[in-house]
Structure 1
Amino acid sequence: TIMHLFLLLILHATAAVGQIDPAHCRYALGMEDGRIRDEDITASSQWYETTGPQYARLNREEGEGAWCPQGQLEPSDTQYLQVDLGRLTFLTVVGTQGRYARNSGNEFARAYRLNYSRDSVLWKSWKSRLGKEVIQGNKNAYESVINDLHPPVIARHVRLIPVTKPSTAVCMRVELYGCPWDDGLISYSAPEGQLLMAPGYPVASLNDSTYDGAHERRRLLGGLGQLTDGVVGLDDFLVTRQLQVWLGYDYLGWRNDSLGAPGHVEMDFLFDKQRNFTSMKVHSNNMFSRGVKIFSSVTCWFKPRLIASWEAEPVTFKTVLDDRNPSARYVTVPLRRRAARALRCRFFFADVWMMFSEISFQSGGKPLPSSSCFSLLSVGCVFARLYFLPDPSASGRPDDGNTPILIGCLVTIILLLVIIIFLILWCQYVCKVLEKVDFLSHPDVGQVWVSSGGLLISSLRSPPVASQRAVQDGVLARPSLVSIWMTQPSLSPPTACGGGYAEPDVTQCTPHQGFHGPAPHYAETDIVRLQGVTGSNMYAVPALTVDSLTRKDISAAEFPRQQLVFREKLGEGQFGEVHLCEAEGLPEFLGEGSPLPDGDGCSVLVAVKQLRPDATSQARNDFLKEIKIMSRLNDPNIIRLLCVCVTSDPLCMVTEYMENGDLNMFLSQREMESTLTHANSIPSVSLSDLLHMSVQISSGMKYLASLNFVHRDLATRNCLLDRRLTIKIADFGMSRNLYSSDYYRIQGRAVLPIRWMAWESILLGKFTTASDVWAFGVTLWEIFTLCKEQPYSLLSDEQVIENTGEFFRNQGRQIFLYAPPLCPPSLFELMMRCWSRDIPDRPTFEGLYQALRPHVGP
C-alpha cells in the first residue's frame, strides 16, 4: 500500500544518514563552482585587493589568480585562509594549487597545516593518525595536489595555514571535499579506552587515538574521534584497516571490572540542535571467544535543551545476544522519536569486554514540541475564545467561559479527525491509481517514478572528486541519500510479456507470446503467496495449483502426534514455530520406498512446522495450501514433506531435516582443504565439494523453475545438508533469529532478504524465476567465500538499496560482489551473468545446471 511505501521511504531516509564511508564521501564542496560564497571565504591578510581570499578557488584564474597573504611568509608566521562551509561537514579531502595566473605567477605553498572548528569559537589542529600536523603541499604553481585526511574531520569552519622553512611569498587556491554531516553530533564523552592484555595474545590498545576533545580524569570530554570517523572495525579486533598502527586501533574498548561504575559504560552525546531521534546505530565487536560481546542492553536519557535537566523517562533496549556468530555488527537501538539536544546512554556489559568502532544517530529533522497535541488543542481553544466567548458589552448574565472553550476544543478535535480520514482515503485512491502504472517519466527532468509495490527513488548529487579508489572494498561510491531518484533510465518501458513484467490485468505470459526471460512472470492476481508459519512465503506459485482445497486433498499421511519428541526450536514467525524433533517409528510408519531422511535407526530427525492455534483463518488456510504444494514436490534436492498432523490443533507438517544443519553454518565452520588442515584435524572442504554443492542447488532450482515456482529466498541458510553432502532446498532461514541480520525489516511489511534480491524485486516488487537466478548467483558467492561474510558486508542495508538504483540507471556505478579467491574465473563469470541488469541476459536454471555439471566428476 501507499502507507507501506511511505514507511519504507521514511525508514530509508532516516537510516541512511550518518553512515558515512570516507573513501567515497569525496564531493567537491563548492570552492571551484562558486557554491561557497565570497563572503564565506576570509583570510588573516591579503597582499593586494586582487589577491584576496575570494580568489582562492581551485582551477580558477580570477583576480590575480589566487589568495596571497601579505608580504614574505616567515617560518614563524601564522597566516590563514578561512572557509565557512555553512553547515557541519564530514571533511575527507583537501586540494591545493599555487598562483599560476596564466603563466605570470609562480607562488605556491610547499606545505600547510589545517585547523578546524565546529562553532567558530573552539579551534582544533588536525593531526594524522601518526600524529603529524603538516600536510605536503604543491611542487609547482599549476598542478593541483589532492590530500586525503586520515582521519577525516567534522567541521563547519576550516583554516588552511601555509607553512614554509625559508622566507618566501606564498599563494594558494583551494578546494575542499566531503559530504554533509547529517548526524548533527558535535561531541561525545566517554571513559578512556583501555589496554587488553590476555595470556597468549598480543597487547591491544583500545583507546580513542584521534579524539579531538579534552582528556580529564581518564575521561574523554567535548570532542569527536574514532567513533565518528567512518571506519568500521573488523570481526577480529586485532586486525586493523590502517597501516602502521597498533593492534586494536579501530576499536574503543572497556573492561567490565575496571570502571568506576562496574556493569556499564556511560556516554554523553551533544548535538548541534534539538532533534527528533528515531534510532542509534552502534557498531560493536562480538568476538566472544576472547570475552568480547555486544552490549546486553542500553538505557538512554534525553535532555531537550542544554540548560534543562535530564528527562525522567528513559528509553531502554535489550539486545539479542549471539553466541554462535562472532562477526562484528551494527546494533540498531530505537529511540522512539524522542526530542532532545543531548543524550546520555548507559551500555551494559554482556561479557568481560565491550568494544565499539562507530556510533551514528538517525533523526527526523526538526522535532515537534513535546506538547504538540496540547498545542493543537490550544489552537482550538484560541479560536473558541475568538468566536464563542460572549461579548462583554452584551446584556444578560455573563458566562464563565468554560463551556465555549470546551466546545471549541471538541470542534478542533473533530476537524483533525476529518482531515486524517480524508488523507487516508486520498492515499488509498492514489495507491489504486499508481498500481496501474509501472513508470512515469517527466520529459523535462528525466525523473522516473516506480510504483506497483516498488520504491520512489531519487538522486541529486554532483560527482565525487576523482580518486584512484573510486570503488574500494565493495563500498557504494555515493554518500547516503535521503531518497533515491532514478534519473535518465535506460530501461525500456515494460510490456505485458516481452520483458517479464506483467500488468495487473494480464493473466500469464507463455513462451510463444514473446517472453524472452528464463520463466514467465505471473500477474499479482494469479499468484498465491503462502504465509506459512513465518508470516512470509516459501514459494510463489500459480493460482491454478491451489484453486480448490479441502482436507481430503492432502495426500500426506496423518502421523501420530505423540511420537514427535521435541529437541529444539529452530525459529518462529508471525503465525507459528519451527521445531527440530525426533519422529519415533517414522521409517516403519512410511514403509518401504517412501522418502526418508538419512538415518538407520527407528528415530529420525525431522523439522516440524507448527501453526499456532490462535492463528488467523487466512494463515490457517495458507498453511493447508502449503501442505498441498509441498506434497507435489518430488526432487532429490528439494526438502520433502513426510507426513502431517492436521486432525487436531495445532496443525503440523513434518519435513526432512539433515543432521549437518544448514549450508551457511556448515561452511562458516570450515576451511579449505590443505596439508595444514589435515595435520591439525581442522574441519575442511575441497573445491570439488563446493562445486558439487553448487550443482545440487542448481538442480533443485531447475526443478522448481520447471513448475514455475518462485522461491524468493534462495540462500545458503535455506539449504540443508546431510552427512554425504547432499543438499536439499528449504525455507527455514527467515524464521531463525540466527539469520535475522540477513533481512531488512520494515514496520508493517514482511522482512526482505535484500542482499540476495534482484534490483527489480527491490524496486518494482517483481519476483520471477529470473530473480531467483540472481539470488542463486549470490548463493554461489556465499559458497565460495565459505560463508565467512555477508554479501555486501561493508554496505549498510540502505546502501544496498541505493545500489539497486544504480543497477536500474545502468550508468556503470553499480557495485558488484568481488570475486572470491577460491572461485575459478569461469565460475565467477557465471555469477556475473546471474547479476545481469537486463532480465533476458540472465541464464536459466537449466543453463546454469548444464554449465556447472561438467565441473563435477561422475
Structure 2
Amino acid sequence: MGLKGSEETVKTVAVKMVRSEANVTAMEALISELKILVYLGSHLNVVNLLGACTKQIHKGELLVIVEYCRFGNLQSFLINHRANFVNLVDEFGNLKTLDEMESSNFSRSIGEEIPSQVETRDLQIDDHSGVNSPSSEVLDVSNSNQQDRPISTTDLISWSFQVARGMDYLVSKKVLHGDLAARNILLADDGVAKVADFGMAKKMYYEEHNEKKGQGLMPVKWMAIESLVDRFFSSQSDVWSYGVLLWEIFSLGRVPYPGMDVGHILMKEIQKGYRMDKPELAPNFFGDMMADCWKSDPKERPTFSQTEQIICGHMESSVTSDYLNMNAPYVKLNEEKENATPKDQFGLAKLLREKSGTQSKMDATPRYSMFPVRSSKKFADSD
C-alpha cells in the first residue's frame, strides 16, 4: 500500500480476488472469508485483514487485502527445507541438551534480504486431501532466489506453539476454522506463523458445534471422526485437525495417512481405531499430544489453550514472553476498534501509518532476520 516515489512508506500486501466473475461459488467463499476476517479483529498468529474493495461487487469484483507473508505456506516451506533440516531429537525421542546441540555444531546462517519480484500466482490448494480451494488470485512478492536457510526442531516447536495460540484466539471469538492444515499456515518475517484461509470458517453463535450441510468437497485427511461420520464440526474437531497438522510439521510436510488415498477406506480405518504413528522427528511429548488430539470422544481431547500450555512448558520462558510482547500491539488494535467512530483510522491500517516513521530507519540498517529468529534465545545468542 502507498505510492512509489511519494513520501509515504510502501507496504507489500496480499490481495485475494475471484479469478472469474462467473464463479459464484468462489465469490461466496471469498465474501464469507471477508466477513470472518472483519469479525475476528487482529492477532499476531492470524492473517489479519487490512482492507477490502467492494465498490464493484455487484459486477462480481471483490478485492480482499490482507497481510503479506513472504515465506509462503508452511507445507511448501517444510518440503523445500528437508535437505538442510537439523534434527535436535535423540534416538529416544527426547530433545537434545544444549551441550549436545553445541557438539553437533548447530548454528544459524544469517541470510541477507534479496530483491523481490512482483508476480500474480493462483491460490490453489494441493489436492492431497481431495479438496480444491475457491479459484482466486493473490498479488504478492515472492523470493524465488531466496537462499536456503537451515531449520531445526526448535523451529517446528515454535510454529506448533504459535498455531495453537492463533487457534486459541479463534476459540475465544467462537470461530471454528474447519480446514486447519499446513497448507493454510503462512510464514511471515521473524519466524511468525499465521493461521490463514478462512473460506470454510464458521461463527458459532449459540451452539457449540455446527452441522455441515451439502456435499461439497471436504479435507478428509484432516477431519475429525465426528466430522467424517456425522458431519459435525466444532472447536474440538479443529483440535483433531491440529493433531494432523502436528504430524505434517514433524514429518516435514509429508501427506498424512500415507498409502490411504481413498476417503471411505480411511474413514473405516479411523472408526476401527487406526491412528498414525508419531513421526521420527517429533519429540515424545508431541507424540502424546497427537494421540490426545485424535481421541474419538471430542470431550477427551485437549483444548488449544491446554496444548499451548504443554508446548510452553518445553520452551524457554524468555521466548514465550517475547511472543506475548509481539502480540501486544494487536490487542491494542482490537481495543481501539471497539471504541472507534466511523471516521477514525483504526486497526492495522493505523498501525502501518504509525510505523511509517520508523520504517525508513529500519531499511537503512542491515537486517539479520534469520528465518525464524525468535524460536530460541539460546540459539540467537550463539550466532
- Assess if the C-alpha contact under 8 Å between 2:33 and 2:198 holds in 1: no
8 Å Cα contact 1:605/1:657 also seen in 2? yes
In the other structure, the counterpart of 2:378 is none
- C-alpha distance in 2, partners of 1:796/1:779? 17
1:720 aligned to which of 186, 200, 209 = 186
Could you tell me how far 1:706 is from its partner in structure 2?
Answer: 1.1
Helix, strand or coil: the match of 2:238? helix
Describe how 1:594-605 pairs up with structure 2 within 5 A: 602-605=10-13
Letter in 2 for 1:693: W
1:792 corresponds to: 257
**3-state SS of 2:65 partner:** strand
Aligned length: 243
Aligned residues of 1:677 and 1:683 also touching (Cα < 8 A): no
Q: Which residue of structure 2 lines up, in the alignment, with residue 854 of structure 1?
A: 313
Q: Distance in 2 between matches of 1:774 and 1:679?
A: 33
Equivalent residue for 1:750? 216
Deviations 1:631-672 (A, max 9, x none): 122111111111111111411111122110000011111132
Distance of 1:694 and 1:800 partners within structure 2: 25
Alpha-carbon offset, residue 701 of structure 1: 0.3
* Contact map agreement 1:584 1:604 (CA 8 A) in 2: no
* CA-to-aligned-CA distance 1:450-499 (integer Å, 9 cap, x gap): xxxxxxxxxxxxxxxxxxxxxxxxxxxxxxxxxxxxxxxxxxxxxxxxxx
Take 1:818 and 1:621, find their aligned partners in 2: how far apart are those partners?
Answer: 38
User: 1:738-779: per-residue Cα shift (whole Å, max 9, x none)?
Assistant: xxxxxxxxxx93221111111110110001111000000110
Partner of 1:631: 38
> Counterpart of 1:819 in 2: which secondary structure?
coil
Instruction: Give distance in 2, aligned partners of 1:622 and 1:780.
Output: 26
Following the alignment from structure 1 to structure 2, what is the Cα–Cα distance between the partners of residues 717 and 729?
10
Shift of 1:602: 1.4
2:301 maps to 842
Structure 1 residues 615, 638: CA separation in 2 closer, same or farther (over 3 Å shift)? Answer: same
Cross-structure match for 2:236:
770
Measured after TM superposition, the shift of residue 605 of structure 1 is: 3.6
What does residue 78 of structure 2 align with? 667
- Could you report, residue by residue, the CA deviation over 1:584-643 in whole angstroms, capped at 9, with x for unpaired residues? 549x99x9xxxxxxxxx6140413233743354x87666545423211221111111111
Matched, 1:831 2:290: yes
Is contact 1:669–1:683 with CA below 8 Å preserved after alignment?
no
Instruction: Give yes or no for contact 2:52–2:65 (8 Å, CA) kept in 1.
Output: yes
Q: Is the 8 A contact 2:13 2:65 kept in 1?
A: no
Structure 1 residues 795 and 629: alpha-carbon distance in aligned structure 2, compared to 1, 3 A threshold: closer
Structure 1 residue 700 displacement after superposition: 0.4
What code does the residue aligned with 1:851 have?
A: I
Q: Deviations over 1:517-568 (max 9, x none)?
A: xxxxxxxxxxxxxxxxxxxxxxxxxxxxxxxxxxxxxxxxxxxxxxxxxxxx
Judge conservation of contact 1:637–1:699 (CA < 8 Å) in 2.
yes
Change over 3 Å in CA distance of 1:607–1:725 after alignment to 2: farther
Deviations 1:122-150 (A, max 9, x none): xxxxxxxxxxxxxxxxxxxxxxxxxxxxx
- For residues 624 and 827 of structure 1, do their structure 2 counterparts lie closer, same or farther at Cα, with a shift above 3 Å needed? closer
SS, match of residue 712 in structure 1: coil
Alignment of 1:363-378 (within 5 A): none
More helix by share: 2
SS in 2 for 1:796: coil
Alignment of 1:10-29 (within 5 A): none
Alpha-carbon shift at residue 852 of structure 1 (Å): 1.2
Give the letter aligned to residue 86 of structure 2: E
Number of the residue aligned with 1:703: 169
The 2-side partners of 1:660 and 1:622 are apart by: 24
Match of 2:241, SS state, is helix
Amino acid at match of 1:632: Y
CA distance in 2, matches of 1:683, 1:621: 39
Aligned residue for 2:176, secondary structure, equals coil
| 2:64 match: secondary structure | strand
Change beyond 3 A, Cα 1:585–1:761:
farther
- Aligned-partner residue type, residue 158 of structure 2: H
Q: What TM-score, normalized by structure 1, do the two folds share?
A: 0.27
Q: CA RMSD in A?
A: 3.0
Contact 2:33 2:197 in 1 (8 A): no
Select which of 43, 49, 55 maps to 1:641: 49
Select 2:269's aligned residue among 781, 800, 803: 803
Instruction: Give the SS at the match of 1:767.
Output: strand
Q: Check the 8 A contact 1:662/1:717 in 2, yes or no.
A: yes
Name the SS for the 1:724 alignment partner: helix
Indicate how the Cα distance of structure 1 residues 709 and 679 shifts in structure 2: closer, same or farther if over 3 A, else same.
closer
> How far apart in 1 are the matches of 2:244 and 2:221?
8
Conserved? CA contact 1:637–1:696, under 8 Å: yes
- Residue identity in the other structure for 1:643: G
Shift of 1:834: 0.4
For residues 642 and 709 of structure 1, what CA distance do their matches in structure 2 show? 19
Structure 1 or 2, whichever has the larger Rg, is 1
Matches within 5 A, 1:687-702: 687-702=153-168
In the TM superposition, what whole-angstrom CA distance separates every residue of 1:396-443 from its partner, at most 9, and x where no partner exists?
xxxxxxxxxxxxxxxxxxxxxxxxxxxxxxxxxxxxxxxxxxxxxxxx
Q: Do the aligned partners of 1:717 and 1:733 also contact (CA within 8 Å) in 2?
A: no
Gaps of 5+ in 1: 1-582, 592-600, 735-747, 807-813
